[in-house]
A and B are shown apart, each in its own frame.
Chain A
Amino acid sequence: MQLSNVDYSDIQGLVRFGHGHLTHACLYAARIADAEKARAWLRANPVTSAVGGSLPLHALHVAFTLEGMRKLGVPEPVLADFSLEFRVGMVDANRSRRLGDVGTNDPRCWRWGGVPEESNPHLLIMFYAESDYQHEAWEKKARDALWEAAFDSVYFMSTVRKNDLEPFGFVDGVSQPTLDWERSKPTRLRDTAKYTNLSALGEFLLGYPNEYGLYTDRPLLDAGEKRASVLPLAEDQPGKRDFGRNGTYLVLRDLAQNVPLFKETVADKAGHRPEEEIKLASAMSGRVPADIPIIPPWPKKPPPWPSGTPPWRNAIARDNPEWVIPPGASVMTLSESALQGVGPKLKDAWLDQFTFERDPDATTCPYGAHIRRANPRNADLPDGTRGLIAKLMRTLGFAREHSRDDILASTRFHRILRRGRRYRDSESETDKDGLRFVALNANIARQFEFIQTSWLVNPKFNGLNEDDPLVGNHAPLLTGAKTNGFTRPQDSGLECRLHDLPQFVTVRGGAYFFMPGLSALRYIADE
């Protein structure tokens, strides 16, 4: 099979660029009042493609829920070919239980997207700009009479401009997978023994092979079908038109973060000793807080990273002013050799060039640290599997070196592209700060839901008895056993265990969207 080149003009630019350079962003979750007018609005407001050269100065993106596409007249057989989790949606009793959307996270308490159904959006309109001026100009142009007639009960989600820090004070948006745009990854499946940050395109875009070397299911139309001619041909099934090609699923979760509670708790648990506070916050997150003044600012010319950087770099940085730690540095020692898909920018290497291979007992970065849960940075086979015999032994489950060998799933099948934005709502009583969490992936069940269910909110993750210290809902087990602890393994063997952490993050809304490629968008918006 001939692999075609990637057609950037058919992909929404958010996938490729992330728009970190566009400081203004706002999201509108809207319901469609008039389908014909909505289609007309979509035609009048072109979305931004991923064509390179220079980065766009402003950008518009749209994504639809299943109900939204139905409203806009996408035929039922096409809708029926979307994945089950997208068709059912984020709000479903069984799914809520799995995602941890219970207690205060219950969809019945959400501001939008939950229960009742009238709060569920049909589409998501995302606008990004470089300046206030551009933003206002767009608002004026786009939110015209047609908009008013096409959409109603629009839920507006603002975001803040300073976007590199999330509200708790950690650098956000690091540890992103690098997409294999050149399609250089072999599609033949082989067990890997090394963590890679290079992800197959099909993990994030439909219509391309994923990490299994296979094409994820998506709606395919007969080539002869009316209007289907605007769609690209399916790479794996010639003769079919690919509705999904260059599209992706967009998971949006509106997360409120209780910043005062977080700071208070950290201070309390650390006995109000500043150095301990930094250590504790770093342990919970796995990264050094970026808003800690001890860390010197990012230098003009960063030095090459030292090979054996000790774990508590900030303390060391204070004692050794000639060393400079970038904000958001991991508590882990950087690997000496480059990891596939990390870099080539030095800053990326500083933030991302590490695995947990050399910390099997988690005395540097706790097992329960947020970044170690969200991305365990392992491979298909346990760490350190080298040679044919070792591979054979490990495949049979023998020659285990650590009681936790084999306990985690392989990371490369569970990655997401994060495109979230921080918000601040000073008028709100309860939800002053938070994150408009956005994840892009081709298989919601295997990627976003797996990370959320099996890694973040799973109290039994990696042999622990606690859920994520930062984002977990700390719901007790069926037996009533608590899950709100946090364990920090120590070199001495005597673990340091915190108890009774409160819930810092509350889900306030969310939905699964499909962000189509530009051809499919044309198909949806055409008269």
Chain B
Amino acid sequence: MIPQADIMVAAPLDLARRSELEKLLKTMNRPDVPGMADPNNALVPFEQFGKFHFARFVIIDDKTVGDLAHWGVDPIPDYPIYLAFVANWDGSTDSCLTALAGHAAASKGLRAIFSFCQDPPSNGDLLTWMKQHSHPATAPYVNWIGRTVAQVRKEAGLRVALQEELAKYVQVHPDAGDHVRLVRDHLVEFVRENSKLLPVAEPTPIGWWLRNWLHFAIIPVLLVIPWLFAIDDLIRFPWLLVFIVAPFGLLAIVVFIWLLRRAPWTFALLVALGLMLVPFFILYPLWLIPVLAIVVAFLAVLCWYEKNEPDYIPPPTREHDTELANHEDHDVTNQYSVVGCIKPNWFRLALLPPILWLTGYGSRHIYNRSHLARIQTIHFARWVFLDGKRRGFFVSNYDGSHQAYMDDFINKVGWGLNIIFGNFVGYPGTRWFVHDGAKIELRFKDTNRRHQIPTQVWYKAYPGLTAFDLARNTRIREGLQRRRMSEVKIRAWLRDL
């Protein structure tokens, strides 16, 4: 399994030459589709690498910084306007940057593009320059960790081949529907004979695998640590273990097993360990005092800020909306780039980093198989801090129209959006952290559109395919490789074809 790297190289732009840069970036795009990269464009021929899922060049120009005046910020900070290259790549960040710098056309193209920065790579080493200006994601999201571009394409081809083979089979066997097991056997055999249809499984890089495990272990370890203090007492008073800890332990195991069937095992483990805090606090009720004190203090401060922060949400202008819409709805997937200032008070500035850390943790270890909470339409997304964690930049690649994306945000994961974006200037007021906010529909849509910025160049390696398509294609391939399947499962599998 090859994990996906999330790359961003960004540097302040030389503003005097901005229009010249925009002209150059335009030459990368298809002449017939505004904003969409020609896969084999002369500057960065993304297609030739075969490892880019998505890529974009975007000028991060936040026209809303002036809103800080409503927060009493004076003078308004003069944040740089960045030129950013953002990409999702099969492999490590290093391997991506090295490949780019080592590619004759791309290295020349990137030099030309980055020459518009205030501190251009000019004659120096491009690779070093890119590494210096690399902004690792604060929280990346990958729809399906480990699914490479090559696999996506193979699986898409596999589905087509199976469809064709099935059509042929049904023509010869009109009663195929009564013998679905034979149908599947035939298709399995067909693929066995044409093994080129299957993607090649690649070994997981051991270093990544180890780091990923250690990263996941952070929260389970934190949840287990309190018990270290309890060991002595439990040895001294074994009845505590029998009558208090053991029943909860049993319950935790039951909950764990119940959850295993419904959610990723990582989530099940975290819930089970979290549940074990209950007997701990029963044994040591005094520990509850500091915990509760922290929670109450947090809620009080949160509540105060929620009530007292200014609510300034003008609508986007028609010109801005048109400029964004020009680049939308050409393919089944759209790009989204949005930038904003974090609310300029200590509470929000301190709150957002841990929230984004948890977001990254959740998407890395829990939501890494086809859905981010209830959303199944996001291929890749990333949050990153800019300018000393005073600003945030978010990009995503989503299926469907912008309205549909907003609808998903509001109605399916409004709570999550509130927790993260509620810390940004211009976000509609939240209540108790998760309520209101995104659910204030029109203000949410206004602020979202207004903070969105045009993406000058956008590349997608598999146009015409949605994240749902990719998940289905993977299901089809996995179904082929399964040893045994019940008749019901076979029918469900055939329906996917």
Contact = CB atoms under 8 A, between A and B. Distances in A.
B411 interface: yes
B40 to A, nearest CB: 15
Contacts of B328: 94
Nearest to B466: A460
B404 A399 contact: no
Nearest to B163: A497
Contact of A217 (B412, B442, B472, B497): B442
Interface string A450-469: 10011000111001010000
B403 A494 contact: no
B492 interface: yes
Contacts of B412: 406
A120 B490 CA distance: 55
A395 interface: yes
A398 interface: yes
Nearest to A189: B439
A188 to B, nearest CB: 10
B421 interface: no
Nearest to A191: B411
Interface size class of B (residues with CB under 8 A): 35 or more
Contacts of A489: 495
Interface string A283-317: 00000000000000000000000000000000000
Interface in B441-497: 441-442, 463-464, 466, 468-469, 471-472, 475, 490-497
Contact of A409 (B329, B411, B494): B411
B38 to A, nearest CB: 13
Contact of A450 (B178, B373, B407): B407
B170 A477 contact: no
A380 interface: yes
B482 to A, nearest CB: 15
B279 to A, nearest CB: 21
Given A403-B472, A493-B495, A397 B401 contact: no
Contacts of A361: 492, 495
Nearest to B497: A495
B248 interface: no
Contact of A463 (B367, B400, B472): B472
Contacts of A210: 441
Contacts of B331: 477-479
Contacts of A449: 403
Contact of B468 (A217, A395, A413, A460): A460
A396 interface: yes
B432 to A, nearest CB: 14
B478 to A, nearest CB: 12
B428 to A, nearest CB: 10
B159 to A, nearest CB: 10
A94 B326 contact: yes
B318 interface: yes
Interface size class of A (residues with CB under 8 A): 35 or more
B324 to A, nearest CB: 9
B180 A492 contact: yes
Interface string B306-338: 000000000100100110011011111000000
Given A395-B374, A398-B263, A463 B180 contact: no
Nearest to B183: A494
Nearest to B184: A493
The dominant DSSP class at the A interface is loop
Interface string B159-183: 0000000100010000011101001
A84 interface: yes
A492 B178 contact: yes
A454 B400 contact: yes
Q: Which of B180, B374, B404 has the most CB of A within 10 A?
A: B374
A271 to B, nearest CB: 14
Contact of B267 (A398, A478, A481): A398
A78 to B, nearest CB: 16
A477 B463 contact: yes
A494 B176 contact: yes
B440 interface: yes
A400 B328 CA distance: 31
Contact of A494 (B372, B469, B494): B494
B408 interface: yes
A303 B496 CA distance: 40
B407 A409 contact: yes
A339 interface: no
Given A217-B442, A492-B178, A380 B400 contact: no
A174 interface: no
B372 A397 contact: yes
Contacts of A407: 376, 468
Nearest to A94: B325
Given A87-B318, A189-B439, A409 B178 contact: no
Nearest to A449: B403
A406 B467 CA distance: 13
A459 B332 contact: yes
Given A94-B328, A460-B468, A494-B176, A397 B322 contact: no
A55 interface: no
B400 A458 contact: yes
A273 interface: no
Interface of B: 33, 166, 170, 176-178, 180, 183, 259, 262-263, 267, 315, 318, 321-322, 325-326, 328-332, 367, 371-376, 399-401, 403-404, 407-408, 411-412, 415, 439-442, 463-464, 466, 468-469, 471-472, 475, 490-497
The 8 A-B pairs of least Cβ separation, nearest first, read A492-B177, A493-B491, A493-B494, A94-B325, A479-B464, A398-B263, A397-B373, A399-B262
Given A393-B263, A403-B475, 13 more contacts: A97-B330, A98-B401, A397-B371, A397-B373, A410-B411, A446-B407, A450-B401, A454-B400, A460-B466, A463-B472, A481-B464, A492-B494, A493-B490
